[in-house]
Structure 1
């Protein structure tokens, strides 16, 4: 896997084109420390962090009674994040105008993952392989989660009130990040999850949630990017490229639909913390037990 992907940069808000290059840098265990050294300097000026993760899919579903659809969705998230390992994390840094730093703009962290030992959903792995992920590299040169978490804690981008996080349909993304940072399974209650989330990430904007408030925006990340006439840099379904496109989409939406006033939408994650009518689900078959929560495991998974 090549260490860098480049393409011509441009002004996210549609003014003059920039001549700098956007660079997505792959980070492995052998260059982890040196890249965090660079990040600690970048974040001093670029306080908006767009984020995306790649993970091994969904292999389990919770059973029992749930207070709402949002409660079910959180328990589904918790069950799978507890069972599975993160594969990739993309971080893109921007300033308050959506401009990226010169040189490297996006870091793509590649975590240790072993197809022979770790659990996954085959369709998700197929998608990632078709997008260019090379799992032999992850097995041999992947980042150890604990080492990454220690560096992230001292990076200046978590636990900071002046840092704004940008994401897209990001319950799972932040679930995996919290699992990394705490080295623990996710809390059983969604309210506790949000308490911890706000501590590590005080300001979060979820582009998918913002789309609910915007007329005529719909679909996934690529679809909304097409509607906003944004150009992707790098392969789809890789965390670095997706994080960059997420940041671009946020600033375009902020400009067009919110006239720059978007603070009231902070803290909402699409699909979570939206309590509606009580929803109950019961599944009799129990195949796996995880973190005091019974989960029904789909037939197609591997470990």
Structure 2
């Protein structure tokens, strides 16, 4: 699955060009899947197949955001039209996804060196054989990326352009992005965080919430969910943020065969952060 899809690597030198391209085609490809890589955070919250205690889960995510505020090193973005078409690379006409490589920074917002443990994390969980040294010299500042992405979301909403955002266990993705945007720290209350997410991403689908994590071979991971719906990874390893966003996008597009009304069941719900009861009452939907 997806072996013919090209990963467009984005660094500081081509960042503006690639963002301009995305702004140009986004109205034609309004289904956007994204995933992050945060140093030393290999697991999603909750890690299991159960929703667990939603307040405890948010407290864990908030603590992860505080401890790893400057450690978001990759963001993958995959796009699709409602006809299941993807944007193509102008050089090769292959369908493509984007992987933004971000600079790890210190508390002062300056680039920093990585520890040996962090370098090992890069090799195990990130695409392209990137190194801490390359991220420091050529990476995009995470605050710039988060500001540009949230600004794009706000602009689309104000122009009544409907974008559908797709994630897998997206709590970590949103705390990583929004902790860069909100320098004063994430809200203490879970409900306030959900309202913040909704203000930037008013229509989102968490694949773990939408499809559920019960089933044979499902261990609560993205790969486990894929096995339960008989979807296979392509052969590229390690699977970085762009591969994960593509994988979640393919799962979302498979949901066309679900019973009528599925789309109204769990939009705007983050697995393990909102409850199924809150989903039913559409707590923070438009």
Question: What's the TM-score once normalised by structure 2's chain length?
Answer: 0.75
Specify whether residues 271 and 54 from structure 1 end up closer, same or farther in structure 2 by C-alpha distance, changes over 3 A only: same
Partner residue in 2 for 1:109: 100
SS of the aligned residue for 2:165 comes to: strand
- Say whether residues 1:43 and 2:26 are aligned partners: yes
In 1: Cα distance, 2:81 partner to 2:217 partner: 24
Structure label with greater radius of gyration: 1
Cα deviation, residue 148, structure 1 = 1.8
Partner residue in 1 for 2:271: 270
Matched ranges for 1:232-247 at <5 A: 232=234, 234-247=236-249
Partner residue in 2 for 1:57: 40
Cα deviation, residue 70, structure 1 = 1.2
Cα deviation, residue 207, structure 1 = 0.7
Question: Contact (CA 8 Å) 1:236, 1:242: kept in 2 or not?
Answer: no
Partner residue in 2 for 1:73: 57
Matched ranges for 1:279-294 at <5 A: none
Matched ranges for 1:178-257 at <5 A: 178-212=178-212, 218-219=218-219, 220-227=221-228, 228-232=230-234, 234-252=236-254, 254-257=255-258
Matched ranges for 1:72-221 at <5 A: 72-84=56-68, 85-103=71-89, 105-113=96-104, 117=112, 122=117, 126-131=120-125, 132-155=129-152, 160=157, 162-212=162-212, 218-219=218-219, 220-221=221-222
Matched ranges for 1:290-301 at <5 A: none
1:259-296 CA-partner distances (Å, limit 9, x unpaired): 584133101111112399xxxxxxxxxxxxxxxxxxxx
Cα deviation, residue 53, structure 1 = 0.3
Question: Contact (CA 8 Å) 1:203, 1:267: kept in 2 or not?
Answer: yes
In 2: Cα distance, 1:158 partner to 1:261 partner: 28
In 2: Cα distance, 1:136 partner to 1:119 partner: 8
Partner residue in 2 for 1:285: none
Instruction: After superposing the two structures, state which structure 1 stretch, 111-120 or 198-207, moved more.
Output: 111-120
Cα deviation, residue 178, structure 1 = 1.4
In 2: Cα distance, 1:187 partner to 1:121 partner: 32
Cα deviation, residue 114, structure 1 = 6.1
In 2: Cα distance, 1:53 partner to 1:133 partner: 15
Question: Contact (CA 8 Å) 2:31, 2:79: kept in 1 or not?
Answer: yes
Cα deviation, residue 121, structure 1 = 10
Structure 2 residue runs without a partner (length 5+):
43-51, 90-94, 278-286
Cα deviation, residue 209, structure 1 = 1.2
In 2: Cα distance, 1:87 partner to 1:168 partner: 18
Aligned length: 248
Please, what is the CA RMSD of the aligned residues?
3.1
